[in-house]
Amino acid sequence: MFIFYRLFHRCVRSTPLGPLSSLSPKESSVPSHSSDPILVWFTVFGLSLLFRPVAELVIRVFFFSACVLLTGTLDGLLNLLVGHAVLRAAKYKGYDPPLLSSIEAGSLGGIIVLGPTTLATVCLIALIGGLKLQKMLSTHVTFLLELAFVIAMSAAASSLGVTVVRYCTRLDDLNGPPLDATHAARAGALGACILTVPLVSTAAFFMREAQMMPSARNEPITPPPCLVDNLEYPVHHVASSPRTRPHRHVITHTAAE
């Protein structure tokens, strides 16, 4: 138990990736300047799993899979619930059923469709290398295709969840029947446009900004010229190019006795 606790503590405390710039081109085929930072993150995550011990690898994969499935369940629930609530408040026809039925249908659709689909996509991108197709397309086209895929999966999850609730479960008579498959798909797509699309866009923006920071680009930080003469130790300048070797610049001081 203590060994598993230590492995779990290390798994939680240390991220599986680290900075993308730490992987040199010789060690990895993933370009750190790729147009989509989310694809880069998932690809480097899959490559990093290949260099882990077996016990740590099992724990990381288990918790990562659990987090993906829980995230898909929550995403499906919120997408269908928000879409149903908005369309019902707008008084569109076909959205009179109560919101409680959409909660159950969205949860089932998320755990059946969104969770496994996200997990399979991550594995394919990480192991097969989904960046080859990305090089053929521009940044904006790739990002729009990803958003369209997210909306389509949310619509499919909502439709399937409503179908499962309608034919495989029994709801209370006070709750009434759930939405039909067509209206549920529209509500799920609308909820994805309201919730998931802004979240994915924000995550991609901040991940791209993190890559553009000097620490992510592994740029050397040099002191100001006014402080160079006051340094007691030599200043080390590390070249930013991976092909050049780091060199040392020694500053000698002369003191008048």
Tens digit of each residue's pLDDT (9 = 90 or more) over 149-186: 889 999 999 999 988 888 876 655 446 677 888 999 99
Q: Is the dihedral of CA 19, 20, 25, 26 positive or negative?
A: positive
Angle subtended at Cα 180 by Cα 179 and Cα 185, rounded to the nearest 5 degrees = 90
The pLDDT tens digits for 10-25 are 444 444 444 444 444 3
Report the alpha-carbon distance of residue 187 to residue 85 in Å, rounded.
Answer: 9
pLDDT, greater one: 48 or 117: 117
Place of tokens 């993933």: 30
Mean pLDDT of 112-130: 76
pLDDT band for position 115 (cuts 50, 70, 90): confident
How far, in Å, CA of 39 to CA of 125, rounded? Answer: 7
Contact 105, 162 (CB under 8 A): yes
What is the model's pLDDT at position 185?
93
Q: What is the pLDDT of residue 170?
A: 61
The pLDDT of residue 215 is 52
Q: SS in 3 state form for 51-82? A: CCCHHHHHHHHHHHHHHHHHHHHHHHHHHHHH
Kindly indicate the confidence band of residue 30, based on its pLDDT and cuts at 50, 70 and 90.
very low
CB atoms within 10 A of CB 35: 18
The pLDDT of residue 217 is above 70: no
pLDDT exceeding 70 applies to what percent of the chain? 50
pLDDT tens for 52-66 read 676 777 777 788 888
C-alpha closest to that of 34 among 215, 240, 212, 214 = 212
Name the burial class of residue 162, with classes exposed (0-12), middle (13-18) and buried (19+) by CB atoms within 10 angstroms of its CB.
buried
* Section 123-151 average pLDDT: 69
Q: What is the pTM of this model?
A: 0.60
Residues 42-59 have a mean pLDDT of: 66
Query: Can you tell me the mean pLDDT for 25-47?
Result: 52
